[in-house]
Structure 1
Amino acid sequence: MSKPKVLITRKWPASVETKLKQLYDVSLNEDDLPLTSEELKSALQNYDAVCPSVCDSLPAEVLNASNKRCKILGNFGVGYNHIDIAAAKENGLVVTNTPGVLTQSTADIAMTLLLMSARRGAEGDRLVRAGKWHGWCPTHMLSSDVTGATLGLIGFGRIAIATARKAHHGFGMKIVFFNPSAPDPSVIEELQATRCDSVEDVMRRADYISLHCPGGPDTRHLIDDKMIRLMKPNAHLINTARGDVVDSKALIDALRDKRIAGAGLDVYEGEPNIDPGFLTLENATLLPHLGSATLSTRNAMGEKVLANLAAFFEGREPEDRVA
């Protein structure tokens, strides 16, 4: 019996690619260049499984390709708003993701951004590298305290809770959050957290606001000009969720006008095509989507995809099916 044909759209960790070669008739992306829409359509027509990542846009136009051979999209990542889920269902495509394994690494990046934004870390690094630092001064680059400050979380899933634990137990931060559904009461007790009635309430109360909600039409531009104007003048916005949750123009305007103190971003609308307005701002800390970028995490994500593919091809329900 021939092995299923599988396409990997980007380069994966070597250990996972080795296993893929053993298990499947696999095509790897040795050049690690993003596929075009036409290439993705062709992949759907010629492979039993396609394994995309966040950089692969799979709208209805692509998923509606004629004469499809593909039956499963094994997404390399927990977020899947780059895939039109409704169109996938209409086309009989199973979609899986990789939850759980990137929780701690992404929470680490949220805290990294929070600390860098609060203490003007990126700005200070640029100053030293440019040879413009002339020595210690009592009033130089004064910044904001983190210890004891209030952290507000929009969304309260795995990554948000992990971030809250690091902030509360490590820095004594007070935790407030908004989530549509009620979380485990023991977690609220552990973190001495306060559940707010609305996103607006979090925006008003917090010194640091960290976004942990899913992307997609329901949350696109959730954080818009109106929401940002609710923030304290000394507040910072942290985004490790999805870029389209934030209205980039509104955030750039607020940062430029110093209506808020700073922002730490790991994700962007239309990435990697970042709005050039961000590049001119000293009070914006910008990372290149590093949330899950540790070797152990990326290996674990690959193993999740392998497990989902194995279950599908063996006729079992994939554990991480989202469509």
Structure 2
Amino acid sequence: VSRSLVEQLGLKTALYRDLSWWHQGECLDEASLKGMEVRGDLATSSLYLSIPQAYLDYVSEDWDPPSRWDEGIPGLLLDYNLSAQTQHQIQAGTRGYSMSGNGTAGANLGAWRLRADWQAQLNHQTGSGQPTDKRLDWSRYYAYRAVPALRSKLTLGEGYLDSGLFDSFRFGGLSLRSDDNMLPPNLRGYAPEVTGVAKSNAKVIISQQGRVLYETTVAAGPFRIQDLNDAVSGDLDVRVEEQDGSVQTFTMSTASIPYLTRPGSLRYKLALGKPSDLDHRYRGPLFGTGEFSWGVSNGWSLYGGGLFGGDYNAAALGIGRDLMLLGALSFDATQSRARLP
């Protein structure tokens, strides 16, 4: 099996690095990939490979890898939402009207998305003697882009701190956070992994109360199903049907809380900047914050974070556990220090 052919198999990166080669590094040592079966057919000049499913990278019909993503074309946009109403007071003999709107104006240039959020209001009362009230506010200026290599979103400008551990506030600066929208639909959020060992090419069926939720075929050897939908909860029935007619069955339960992360996955949020107000004035010291949630194993997640800025510093650390039949549980501790003037 040549190196070029192995590169087309879709092996996980960590596994590919541990492979052994011979013939001056051009041919795969098949023993270095435990469970792999190689069979040649000289009559048809065909090569048949059987590789345990757990060794392969995730693929999906409704998701393209980052190498196929397109940044789109340059352009301008205006997003708006308008509403209007009129009033007529017969006894007072006055008429009035009001209009309000909000939305986003922006431009796309390469990978960057430039945006400005706006709000507008117009009020007029005929016969009241008051001038027409007009107001247009640009509430937020920012730019963002995707960072496919990190499965993350980078934002520059004004925004609000997005944190699951600390209070949110308005600030200006930059933020980098993992973006689940860059993952295949069935790898977003939290769901447990279903693992097992197939004795032969087998069909794996996952159902709940008789309704099939997931069905796939795996090769002989260890398998790992990691793309259950994050909406799945409760008792799951797993059935492994072997080629010889034998059947393996087992049951697992699952639940979720916000801090749980899929096994082996890391979610994070980083931000650096200064607090700001609605008039775009920066107030307060420079701060930095970060938080993470790491799926340690199937059902266990470690999470924590810190907020550091001037006279206020805080750190948090916690652990989340999927208790299966009993639900889910998280425990965390936060320590903060503030120096008052």
Instruction: State the TM-score, normalized to the length of structure 2.
Output: 0.21
Tell which has more relative contact order, 1 or 2 (C-alpha 8 A, sep 6+).
Answer: 1
Give the structure with the larger strand fraction.
2
Q: Which structure is larger by alpha-carbon Rg, 1 or 2?
A: 2
Higher helix fraction (1 or 2): 1
TM-score of the aligned structures, taking structure 1 as reference length: 0.22
